[in-house]
Amino acid sequence: MAALQRLQPVRRVAVSGGTHGNEMSGIYLVKHWLREPSALQRDSFSATPFLTNPLAIERCVRYVGRDLNRTFTKQFLNSKAARDEPYEVQRAREINHLYGPKGSAEAFDFLFELHNTTANVGACLIASAQDNLLPMHMCHFIQTHCTPGYYPILLYNLPDQETYSISSVAKHGLAFELGPQPQGVLRADLFTQMGALMACALDFIDLFNKGTTFPAFEMEAYRFIGSVDYPRHPDGELCAAVHSKLQDKDFLPLRPGDPIFQTFSGEEILYQGHTTIYPVFINEAAYYEKKIAFNKTEKCSLSIPALQRE
Amino acid sequence: MTSCSVVLEAPVRRVAIFGGTHGNELSGVFLVKHWQKNGAEIQRSGLQVTPFITNPRAVKKCTRYIDCDLNRVFDPDNLGRKVMEDIPYEVRKAQEINNLFGPKGSDVAYDLIFDLHNTTSNMGGTLILENSRNDFIIQMFHYIKVKLILNKLLHIYFYMLLKDCIPVQGLNYTDSWAKHPVGVEVGPQPQGVLRADILDKMRKIIKHGLDFIYLSFLGEEFPPCTIEVYRIIEKVDYPRNKNDEIIAIIHPCLQDQDWQPLNKGDPIFLTCDGETIAYEGDSTVYPTFVNEAAYYEKKQAFMKTVKLKLTHALSPAS
Ligand SMILES: [Zn+2]
Ligand SMILES: [Zn+2]
């Protein structure tokens, strides 16, 4: 059994909404908190809300020049300003300056990302990898303390892959991904749920800062292992839709031989893999251009050691 | 004294099916593209059925429109504009469509146009009727509905536009200049997403619609029928602050409740602070297009409709 781990208290916390400008829950929550910041205040700290991609929000599009949430890598963060660069590259440097620099001691302690998806993922908690203990304990706290709901945990980083999302700018981070919600639509149920998640996560940080010991635990998580594209015609056009038996079945087992697509002529296409996987982000609107019909994950059990502040 | 004269019209023979009038409504986009590659299922002998992508650039970008909403520019002013470099893409496109399938109001215009749309609202399959006196379409709606019920497939809802009493101008939709314009609106489906179940519903509506046109073309007579329709009476905007920002969301009790009765005192909005705003009208209305993504910019949270019945006593082929 791993020994109790100790981490520095968490003082500087930021909450980002509108990293994708058509994901409305986070945009409207952050706008609300900018007017009424008391909901983000706790005894030991106050979280700073900010809108990540104002130009995309104004136009109600995912991004203007390129996907901002794939832009927090060394290549872009260390680039020199250029006249013809995408708006998001400039914005990523700005955010890195304000809440980073990424990987430095001056970086914010914690950064939350608020997202929506058109896929039926429930209230998904996305962390980069299990070795970052603070977010893992936060996920566990949410699962055990937040209003009853489905809170699957997704670990998105492949081994040895550079992190690229906005929360990677801070020392610790976590993304809330709520769905299904269409782009450009604000649903009250998801808005309320995201607010409740945020409140619960901030309560956790406050308890941590006050010296609470969080015991070791076992947890189940889904680890990203790859993605599957749509079947296409030679000219690149889709020739099939996600099968109605797979649609909305995020985080449920997909076995070899199960149907995954149906062509417009009515044929079924079956899953050809050799092992059971757990598909997520099934039929996400923003992933058509990324050539992703769904992501593949494997289910794993994690042992997380106990945690207390230094 | 009034005399009732039945005008004998030529049968409906030339039919167009429009997809991608809004480029991010994917059911129509993919059905039309599929039928352009393989159109056997929409062909009926003696009829001319033409599938057509109306806004190809918006389809390519997967966005509702490029410069302006194509579905709002089919008015005489826009159709008459001189083609110059700087006219909006959709106005140029509208002129092109008018040349191919119109011209609006002329004898050579297509007889019937299906214009395929999706909505993020929970509207099921909706057929949009622009004219309460169009007996052919009333019969067609009735035929489709009976077929769908027989096949236990879906509930089909109907509504009419408010402007149906105002003659001619005012109706500037993509299909409005055909003799028989039929909007097909199926939801809920997010923009930029293609759902197999929604695609299937739309496909069946078109199949039965074409079957009806074919039977009429062959001279089949249809008995008198009555259909239930919803007439739009008013659009309702979101509550906003002084800066025009939305300050309340569709209430969970109204979300997804398209076509369900809304009575005085029922919740309609929830403010960001958690306060409920109730419906204050005195009469029961039936909301539709509840929380449609594309209508935020049109300042429309939902539409109020009233329910009424339309009766058609004569067979269209008589
Ligand atoms: Zn996002
Ligand atoms: Zn549309």
Measure in Å the smallest separation between the Cα of B301 and chain A Cα atoms: 10
Q: Map tokens 């980002």 to a residue.
A: A16
Confirm whether B32 is domain-assigned.
Answer: yes
Is A270 part of any domain?
no
Contact (CB<8Å) A244/B38 = no
Q: Is B293 close to A286, i.e. CB distance below 8 A?
A: no
CA distance A281 to A179: 9
CB B20 within 8 A of CB B53: yes
Annotation-wise, does A115 bind a ligand? yes
Contact B255 A189 (CB under 8 A): yes
Domain presence at residue A267: no
Helix (H) / strand (E) containing B113: strand B112-118
CA of B175 to the centre of ligand 1 (A): 36
Domain CATH number, residue B217: 3.40.630.10
Give the structural domain span for B121: 14-228
How far, in Å, are A202, A220, B58, B89, B90 from residue B55 at the CA level? 47, 47, 6, 9, 7
Asked if residue B171 belongs to a domain, the reply is yes
In this structure, the number of other CB atoms found within 10 A of the CB of residue B56 comes to: 14
List CB contacts (< 8 A) between A237 and chain B.
33
β-sheet bridge partners, residue A149: none
Q: Which residue has the tokens 């800066």?
A: B243
Average pLDDT rounded to a whole number, residues A176-203 = 97
Q: Nearest CA of chain A to the CA of B42: how many Å?
A: 13
Q: What is the mean pLDDT of residues B93-118?
A: 88
CA distances, A137 to each of A44, A166, A287, A306, B241 (Å): 18, 20, 30, 9, 39
pLDDT over threshold 50, residue B138: yes
Whether residue B28 contacts residue B18, with contact meaning beta carbons closer than 8 Å, is answered with yes
Domain membership of residue B278 (yes or no) is: no
Q: Report the length, in residues, of chain B.
A: 318
Is A101 inside any structural domain? Answer: yes
Q: Which residues, 6 or more positions from B13, have their beta carbon under 8 angstroms from its beta carbon?
A: B46, B47, B48, B111, B217
Summarised one tens digit per residue, pLDDT across range B44-97 is 999 999 999 999 999 999 999 999 999 888 777 777 777 666 889 999 998 899
* Cross-chain Cβ contact B191/A180 below 8 Å: no
Instruction: Provide the CA A167 distance to its chain's centre, in angstroms.
Output: 9
What per-residue confidence (pLDDT) applies to B109? 86
In a domain, residue B260? The reply is no
- Asked if residue B6 is part of any domain, the answer here is no
Q: Which of A237 and B175 is assigned the larger pLDDT?
A: A237
CA distance B181 to chain A (A): 26
What residues of chain A lie within 8 A of the CB of B193, using their CB? 118, 182, 283-285
Is B193 within 8 Å of A118 (Cβ atoms)? yes
pLDDT at residue number A125:
98
- Tell me the whole-structure pTM to 2 decimals: 0.92
Alpha carbon distance A204, A198 (integer Å): 10
Give the chain A residue whose CA is nearest to the CA of B246: A28
**ipTM of the complex model:** 0.92
Is residue A196 situated within a structural domain? yes
Contact B250 A28 (CB under 8 A): no
Q: At what angle do helices B135-150 and B196-217 cross, to 10 degrees?
A: 130
Distance (Å, rounded) from C-alpha A162 to C-alpha A259? Answer: 34
Give A64's DSSP letter.
S
- A181-193 burial, b at 16+ Cβ within 10 Å, e below that, comes to bbbbbbbbebbbb
Give how many domains chain B has, as a whole number: 1
Q: Count the Cβ atoms, other than its own, within 10 Å of residue B309.
A: 8
Report whether B302 contacts B236 (CB < 8 A): yes
Q: In chain B, helix, strand, coil percent, each to 5?
A: 25, 25, 50
A131 pLDDT tier (thresholds 50, 70, 90): confident
> Is A243 assigned a ligand-binding role in the annotation?
no
* pLDDT value for B154: 55
Q: Can you tell me the mean pLDDT for A187-211?
A: 97
Contact (Cβ atoms closer than 8 angstroms) between residue A289 and residue A70: no
User: How long, in residues, is chain A?
Assistant: 310
The Cα-based distances of A193 to A24, A57, A142, A185, B254 in angstroms read 13, 21, 12, 15, 17
**Cross-strand partners of A13:** A47, A110
Return the pLDDT at B4: 38
pLDDT at position B63 is 95
CATH number of the CATH domain containing A186 = 3.40.630.10
Residue B75 CB neighbours (<10 A): 17
Predicted confidence at residue B134, as pLDDT, reads 79
Look at residue B149 in the predicted model and tell me its pLDDT.
81
Proximal ligand: closest to the CA of B118: 2
pLDDT of B41 over the 80 cut:
yes
pLDDT given at position B312: 73
Task: For residue range A71-107, list pLDDT tens digits in order.
Answer: 999 999 999 999 999 999 999 999 999 999 999 999 9
| Closest Cβ opposite residue A185 in set B196, B291, B297 | B291
Query: How many other C-beta atoms can be found within 10 angstroms of the C-beta atom of residue A227?
Result: 16
Say whether pLDDT at B311 is over 70: yes
For residues A253 and A278, is the Cβ–Cβ distance under 8 A? Answer: yes
Which range is least confidently modeled, A9-13, B2-6, B30-34? B2-6
Q: Is residue A150 part of a domain?
A: yes
Domain ranges, residue A167: 5-220+304-309
Asked if B237 and B293 count as a contact pair (C-beta separation under 8 A), the reply is no
Structure-token pair, residue B131: 């004219």
* C-alpha A184 – ligand 1 centre gap (Å): 12
Domain count, chain A: 1
Give chain A's mean pLDDT.
Answer: 96
Catalytic residue flag (residue A289): no
Closest ligand to Cα A286: 1
pLDDT of residue B316: 43
For every residue of B226-258, which 3-state class applies, written as one string? EEEEEEEEEEECCCECCCCCECEEECCCCCCCC
Burial of residue B95 (CB within 10 Å: 0-12, 13-18, 19+) is buried
B296 touching A (Cβ < 8 Å): yes
Give the span between the Cα atoms of B218 and B12, in whole angstroms. 10
Does B92 fall in a domain?
Answer: yes
Higher pLDDT: B149 or A221? It is A221
pLDDT of residue B102: 82
- In chain B, % of residues over pLDDT 90: 57
Express each pLDDT in B169-224 by its tens digit.
334 566 655 678 889 999 999 999 999 999 999 999 999 999 999 999 999 999 99
The closest ligand to the CA of A119 turns out to be 1
In one letter, which amino acid is B236? Answer: V
Q: Check residue B206 and give its pLDDT.
A: 96
CB proximity under 8 Å: B 77-116 to A:
none
The predicted pLDDT at position B176 comes to: 58
Q: If you average pLDDT over residues A208-237, what whole number do you get?
A: 95
pLDDT at B20 over 70: yes
Of B252, B296, B258, the C-alpha closest to B274 is: B252
pLDDT for the residue numbered B173? 60
Structure-model confidence comparison of residues B40 and A3, the more confident one: B40
Under DSSP, the state recorded for A254 is B
pLDDT at B153 over 50: yes
Residue B275 has pLDDT above 80, yes or no: yes
DSSP-derived letter for residue A3 is P
In a domain, A226, yes or no: no
Residue to mutate among A120, A178, A185, A284, with most B CBs inside 10 A, is A185
Residue B59 lies in a domain: yes
B317 Cβ neighbours under 8 A, 6+ residues apart: B11, B216, B219, B220, B221, B222
> What pLDDT, on a 0 to 100 scale, did the predictor assign at position B263?
98
Residues of A in contact with B255 (CB under 8 A): 187-189
